[in-house]
Amino acid sequence: MIEEYEQILQRSKSRFQQNRIIGKRLKKMKPKEITRLFQELHDDAFKEIDCLLCANCCASVGPLVNEQDIERIGKALRLRRRDVIGSYLKIDEDHDYVFKEHPCPFLCGDKRCLIYSDRPKACREYPHTDQRYIHRYINQTVENSRHCPAVALMFEELHRQGV
């Protein structure tokens, strides 16, 4: 990860309690207002953040892997379902499939994904801040402010706006 992104994340980690307070305030807003707000924040943040210069989510946050993801990964790697599960996945405390290890086993040294076109849905949608139902995921979005510099920038802007 480049130094600028590390600095953004360090600021966000030091302000994490403030981000949690902002999250509580967001929960009091109307869902449509939250969606509109985050769409703007998302678009602005990703004008400044290039995921390929970061890949911190791949190194520190594990996605949920669903059945369709297992099929896609298996096809990409020419492995059977049980071999994908046995080699790369475990069941977490919520009984969901997740990767056994971090960083992601498909993260290459150049921060590229070995299975990019076949990556899990959760990876495709991360950090989920442009989702229509973002109001349902405020707690996760607050948590993501510690892992994703784009989300951290969104919370910096929310703080500037006095949310």
Q: Based on the structure, what is the number of domains in the chain?
A: 2
Is the same domain home to 68 and 52?
Answer: no
Report pTM: 0.92
What is the phi/psi pair of residue 91, to 5°?
-100, 125
- Please say whether the dihedral angle defined by the alpha carbons of residues 138, 142, 143 and 146, taken in this order, is positive or negative: positive
**Do 16 and 46 sit in the same domain of this protein?**
yes
Q: pLDDT for 37-67, tens place per residue?
A: 999 999 999 999 999 899 999 999 989 999 9
> Residue 1 pLDDT more than 90?
no
- Give mean pLDDT, residues 130-137: 94
Q: State residue 97's pLDDT score.
A: 98
Query: Which domain covers residue 81, as residue numbers?
Result: 62-125
Identify whether residues 79 and 29 lie together within a single domain.
Answer: no
For residue range 75-121, what is the model confidence (pLDDT) as tens digits? Answer: 999 999 999 999 999 999 999 999 999 999 999 999 899 999 999 99
DSSP annotation string for 69-134: HHHHHHHHHT--HHHHHHHHEEE-TTS-EEESSSS-TTB-TTS-BTTGGG--HHHHHTT-TT-TTG
Is 68 found in the same domain as 54?
A: no
Question: What whole-number distance in Å separates Cα of residue 135 and Cα of residue 63?
Answer: 19
Q: Determine what percent of the chain falls in helix, strand and coil, rounding each to the nearest 5.
A: 60, 5, 35
Mean pLDDT of 1-6: 94
Residues 68 and 109 occupy one common structural domain: yes
